[in-house]
């Protein structure tokens, strides 16, 4: 994201050369290597959303499998359109309303970027589409918290509003070159690929929505077993694969930063998985497939903000610590008794916060040296303060806005399903379909 | 002893189950089946309403002592109806049950149910 500054330089260069000759419209040339990797990354991040649909779809009961997968696919559809229309302009335009959000009329319908090559030598279309995938997956992550009990119409409205009023401002603050978190402290709050913007915001929103909408009928007395863990495992695998685009693509480069991000992503996911297996083996004598999937996700979420600044040993530590903390957060949830059905807060919220804060202790020395050079002196504790501020602001903002949005949707279109419809299942009631043939009911 | 076999619509399974439990009947077997009745089931397929050849149903098998037969049937009837009763709500078959054995202990007859 720091390449945004280069992009502005690119624009300046463009402005300088435009009157001289028409070839200068391409004042910045396309680097085919970087662009190829960014195109690949864009596709990889999109692949995470069917992955998420499979992950969540496998965890619910048979009668809700389609309704649950539809939540992710509806995000691809609705945010896919919204992002191109105005989401990108709101997120990556220049500060308006005192920096609450951005706006740039040129980016409305992406009209003004038809010829734009960014300072990072990538066509701006690619950058806009890459960022758009993040905007899609973030609200889709929330849906695990209110799985099996919301109306489709209400969800669609919530999705659109959340994407514009929660995601776009957060994305602007953290990643736009004039965002206030981007410029906080010596070298900004560190959020390489979306620890705060994506995972903490969706995790906190999930918690708020789950608390507001209430538990599923029968929870926690009745067991609600996953209908298809095979699908969940495949989903977790696709998420891991897609995460290479998510993290390594966030370098907006195809070089040393990319290689670093890719390596720590791989290592942290594996470390998270190993730790979750060990914890379960220790406590229960058996490691479960849902456990290894959860560990993979915890590790991936924790490394997301950190992928640009930590080294391999730090990545292993972050992945493992995230698994330990998430595991206990989920146990604690069971004690509290609220129904975050698929543990969005327990994994994305908790591991996201863990990663965003603890990454401070594993930053590579060269980064700290650069920060010290810029600010005169810079310590780990000062950076921890910046990280904590970014986390705190994200938590507060996402929680308040989500509460307002779920309240608004519940009062207008209706969010929570009627009791009888919930018993009959989402697939039958909301979509008029059923997911499986003669598979046994559960 | 009787074997009560009920064929109901899948979306009513949870309601029927809860109604049976409320009536004190907790030992049931549930399976997915498909078949023909007078009902023409409808599914949506790319915007078109289609009628599947075989309509998915749920089958409940409940073995019970004679005194429980009426309780079980009443519980099913009042919970499996759509809006007071529609074609396709299902059927209940009651057959005599010759013997029942609990595998764990070898107990036989009404005791074992």
Q: What is the pLDDT of residue A18?
A: 43
Angle at A62 between CA A61 and CA A68, to 5 degrees: 70
Q: Which residues on chain B are in Cβ contact (under 8 Å) with A428?
A: 10-11
Q: Which residues on chain A are in Cβ contact (under 8 Å) with B31?
A: 440-441
Nearest to A432 among B13, B32, B43 (CB): B43
Nearest chain B alpha carbon to A64: B11
| Residue linked to tokens 């058996």 | A286
Could you tell me if B12 lies within 8 Å of chain A, comparing CB atoms?
yes
Nearest to A441 among B13, B18, B44 (CB): B13
CA A277 to chain CA mean position, Å: 24
Q: Distance between CA A405 and CA A139 in Å, rounded?
A: 13
pTM of this prediction exceeds 0.90: no
Q: What is the mean pLDDT of chain B?
A: 88
Give B57→chain A minimum CA distance, Å: 10
Residue among A221, A222, A424 with most chain B CBs within 10 A, to mutate: A424
Hey, are the CB atoms on B15 and A423 less than 8 Å from each other?
A: yes
Q: Distance between CA A254 and CA A281 in Å, rounded?
A: 40
| Pair A171, A177: CB distance under 8 Å | no
Give B9→chain A minimum CA distance, Å: 10
Hey, are the CB atoms on B42 and A432 less than 8 Å from each other?
A: yes
Hey, are the CB atoms on A420 and B15 less than 8 Å from each other?
A: yes
Helix count and strand count (H, E) for chain B? 2, 6
A284: alpha, beta or left, given left = phi > 0 and alpha = psi -120 to 50?
Answer: alpha
Could you tell me if A420 lies within 8 Å of chain B, comparing CB atoms?
yes
Angle at A193 between CA A160 and CA A207, to 5 degrees: 50
Hey, are the CB atoms on A424 and B14 less than 8 Å from each other?
A: yes
**Structure-derived torsion over alpha carbons of residues A34, A37, A43, A45, reported in degrees to the nearest 10:** -90
Could you tell me if B13 lies within 8 Å of chain A, comparing CB atoms?
yes
Hey, are the CB atoms on B32 and A440 less than 8 Å from each other?
A: yes
A10 lies in some domain: no
| Pair A425, A63: CB distance under 8 Å | yes
Nearest chain B alpha carbon to A434: B43
pLDDT by residue, tens only, chain A of 442 residues: 455 555 555 554 544 444 333 333 456 888 999 999 999 999 999 999 999 999 999 999 989 999 999 999 999 999 999 999 999 999 999 888 888 899 998 899 999 898 889 888 999 999 999 999 999 999 999 999 999 999 999 999 999 999 999 999 999 999 988 888 888 877 888 888 888 999 999 999 999 999 999 999 888 888 788 999 999 999 999 999 999 999 999 989 899 999 999 999 999 999 999 999 999 999 999 999 999 999 999 999 999 999 999 999 999 999 999 999 999 999 998 888 889 999 999 999 999 999 999 999 999 888 888 888 888 888 888 889 989 999 999 999 999 999 999 999 999 999 999 999 998 899 989 998 888 865 555 5
Nearest to A432 among B10, B32, B44 (CB): B44
Angle at A106 between CA A101 and CA A108, to 5 degrees: 65
Residue among A221, A425, A441 with most chain B CBs within 10 A, to mutate: A441
Give A439→chain B minimum CA distance, Å: 7
Hey, are the CB atoms on A433 and B31 less than 8 Å from each other?
A: no
Hey, are the CB atoms on B56 and A424 less than 8 Å from each other?
A: no
A311 lies in some domain: yes
B residues 34-73 near A, CB within 8 Å?
A: 34, 42-44, 56, 58
Give A433→chain B minimum CA distance, Å: 6
| Pair A66, A426: CB distance under 8 Å | yes
CA A99 to chain CA mean position, Å: 22
Fold classification of B2-112 is Alpha-Beta Plaits (3.30.70)
Q: What is the pLDDT of residue A105?
A: 87
Could you tell me if B107 lies within 8 Å of chain A, comparing CB atoms?
no
Give B41→chain A minimum CA distance, Å: 11
A residues 95-154 near B, CB within 8 Å?
A: none
Nearest to A441 among B15, B30, B42 (CB): B30
- Give the domain CATH number at A399: 1.10.3430.10
A270 lies in some domain: yes
Q: B48-50 and A94-96 as β-strands: parallel, antiparallel, unpaired?
A: unpaired
Write out the residue range of the structural domain in which residue A252 sits. 28-423
Q: What is the pLDDT of residue B34?
A: 83
Give B110→chain A minimum CA distance, Å: 28
Predicted ipTM?
0.71
Nearest to A423 among B14, B30, B44 (CB): B14
Hey, are the CB atoms on B44 and A433 less than 8 Å from each other?
A: yes
Could you tell me if B11 lies within 8 Å of chain A, comparing CB atoms?
yes
| Pair A197, A394: CB distance under 8 Å | yes
| Pair A251, A309: CB distance under 8 Å | no
Query: What are the tens digits of pLDDT across the range B41-92?
Result: 667 777 777 666 678 889 999 999 999 999 999 999 999 999 888 888 999 9
Could you tell me if A432 lies within 8 Å of chain B, comparing CB atoms?
yes
Hey, are the CB atoms on A428 and B56 less than 8 Å from each other?
A: no
Q: What is the pLDDT of residue A23?
A: 36
Query: Tokens at residue A162, please?
Result: 């959340």
Q: What is the pLDDT of residue B53?
A: 67
Which of B64, B69, B75, B101 has its CA nearest to residue B15? B75
Q: Which residue has the higher pLDDT, B109 or A242?
A: A242
Hey, are the CB atoms on B34 and A428 less than 8 Å from each other?
A: no
Residue A432: DSSP 8-state: S
Q: What is the pLDDT of residue A16?
A: 43
Q: Which residues on chain B are in Cβ contact (under 8 Å) with A420?
A: 15
A213 lies in some domain: yes
A residues 64-83 near B, CB within 8 Å?
A: none
């Amino acid at each position: 994201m720091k390449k945004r500054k280069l992009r502005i330089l690119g624009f300046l260069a463009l402005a300088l050369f435009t009157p001289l000759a028409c070839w200068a419209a391409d004042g910045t040339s396309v680097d085919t290597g970087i662009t190829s990797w960014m195109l690949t990354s864009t596709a990889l991040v999109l692949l995470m959303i069917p992955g998420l649909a499979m992950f969540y779809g496998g965890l619910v009961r048979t009668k809700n499998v389609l309704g649950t997968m539809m939540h992710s696919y509806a995000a691809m559809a609705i945010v896919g359109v919204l992002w191109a229309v105005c989401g990108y302009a709101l997120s990556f335009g220049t500060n308006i309303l005192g920096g609450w959000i951005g706006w740039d009329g040129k980016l409305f319908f992406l009209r003004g970027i038809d010829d734009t090559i960014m300072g990072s030598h990538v066509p701006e279309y690619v950058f806009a589409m890459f960022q758009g995938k993040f905007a899609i997956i973030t609200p889709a992550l929330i849906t695990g918290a209110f799985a099996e009990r919301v109306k489709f119409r209400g969800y669609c409205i919530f999705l659109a509003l959340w994407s514009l009023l929660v995601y776009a401002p957060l994305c602007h603050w953290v990643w736009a070159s004039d965002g206030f978190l981007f410029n906080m402290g010596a070298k900004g709050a560190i959020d390489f690929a979306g620890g705060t913007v994506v995972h903490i915001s969706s995790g906190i929103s999930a918690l708020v929505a789950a608390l507001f909408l209430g538990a599923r009928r029968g929870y926690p007395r009745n067991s609600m077993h996953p209908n298809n863990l095979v699908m969940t495992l495949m989903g977790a695998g696709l998420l891991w694969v897609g995460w290479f685009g998510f993290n390594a693509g966030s370098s907006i480069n195809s070089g040393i930063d990319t290689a670093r991000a890719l390596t720590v992503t791989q290592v942290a996911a594996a470390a998270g998985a190993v730790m979750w297996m060990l914890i379960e083996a220790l406590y229960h004598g058996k490691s479960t497939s849902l456990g290894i999937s959860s560990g993979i996700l915890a590790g991936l979420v924790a490394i997301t903000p950190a992928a640009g600044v930590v080294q391999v040993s730090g990545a292993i530590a972050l992945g493992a610590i995230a698994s330990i903390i998430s595991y206990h957060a989920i146990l604690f949830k069971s004690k509290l008794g609220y129904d975050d059905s698929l543990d969005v807060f327990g994994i994305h919220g908790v591991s996201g916060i863990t990663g965003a804060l603890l990454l401070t202790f594993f930053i590579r020395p060269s980064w700290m040296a650069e920060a010290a050079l810029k600010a005169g002196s810079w310590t780990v504790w000062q950076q921890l303060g910046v990280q904590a501020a970014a986390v705190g602001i994200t938590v507060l903002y996402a929680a308040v806005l989500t509460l307002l949005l779920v309240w608004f949707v519940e009062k207008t279109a209706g969010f929570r399903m009627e009791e009888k419809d919930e018993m009959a299942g989402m697939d039958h009631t909301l979509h008029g379909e059923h997911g499986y043939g003669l598979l046994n009911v559960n | 002893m009787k074997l009560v076999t009920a064929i109901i619509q899948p979306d009513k399974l949870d309601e029927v189950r809860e109604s049976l439990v409320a009536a004190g009947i907790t030992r049931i077997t549930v399976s997915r089946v498909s078949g023909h009745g007078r009902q023409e089931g409808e599914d949506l397929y790319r915007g078109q309403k289609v009628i599947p050849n075989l309509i998915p149903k749920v089958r409940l098998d409940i073995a019970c002592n004679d005194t429980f037969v009426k309780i079980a049937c009443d519980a099913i009837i009042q919970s499996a109806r759509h809006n007071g009763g529609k074609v396709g709500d299902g059927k209940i078959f009651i057959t005599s049950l010759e013997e029942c054995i609990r595998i764990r202990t070898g107990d036989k007859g009404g005791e074992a149910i």
